[in-house]
Structure formats: structure tokens, C-alpha cells
Amino acid sequence: MLEEYMKRLVDEHGFSVAKDEETYQVEINDDISVTITDLDPGAVFFSKLTPLLKDHREELFTYLMRANLLGKGTFDSVVGLDSDEKFLTLSRSMAYEIDYPTFKEVLEVFANSLQMLREEVAKKYEEAKESIY
């Protein structure tokens, strides 16, 4: 299923796609790269959100916990940390059969939410810095 969807994405949008076993790396643009893993049925969407700075973590984590609550601030995705706690990550799991229009829509929403959250995290860091000075 996912292999067919990847071919359609390349044909329709010209995205660069690399495959490694059941994982696909989709380069949407210079800033957005999404790893998609085939669950058969379903898929997991994953991307690094932004580097995690050492300062102002409390303010940022409070904001992100609220964003994660019921998926409202993340558009049904989940913000987390990578295993080294150096990057914030964004992921979305769909463990059920999906058709191509749904897959394409979820990828678009995921990429847009990734961009939006990057901007919001940058704003939160700036607000936290300004509140100290």
C-alpha cells in the first residue's frame, strides 16, 4: 500500500523519496523531511521538530503539554523528545487502513503542523528570553 502511495506522491508533487526496507524518507522541501513507516495497515509519520535548547525548558514544556492535550494544538500529532533529548520530535500514528486521499491529507496536515510548531517553539523561546530581561 505505502509503496503505491509514495509513487503517486512523486508523480503528483515531485517529492524526493528514499526507501529503506519499510521506511520512506520524503523530502517535501528544504526544511521539511518526513519519515513514514509502513504499519500494514496504516502508517507512522515522524520528523524532527527543532533542536531542544537547554534554557527555558519549563516554559516550553508547559506550552507543549497543552498543545499535546487531545491533539488540539498539534493537529492529532504528538510532540516528544528524541532518545538523546537533543531534539523535539513530531509523530502521528494511524494503525488502520487508509486510502490515498486520506494519506495525502494527513501528510499535508502533518507537514503544515510541523512548520507551525517550529514557529511557535521559536516564539516561546523568544518570549521566555524577554521575560527574564
The residue ranges of every structural domain in the chain are 2-132
Per CATH, the number for 2-132 is 3.30.1460.10
What is the overall mean pLDDT for the chain?
92
> Whole-structure pTM over 0.85, yes or no?
yes
pLDDT of 72 reads 87
Mean predicted confidence (pLDDT) in 99-109? 96
Burial of 133 (0-12, 13-18, 19+ CB in 10 A): exposed
Kindly report, residue by residue over 56-95, the tens digit of the pLDDT.
Answer: 888 889 889 999 998 888 999 999 999 999 999 999 999 9
For strand 43-51 and strand 78-81, is the pairing parallel, antiparallel, or unpaired?
unpaired
Question: Residue 23: how many CA atoms within 13 Å on its side-chain side?
Answer: 8
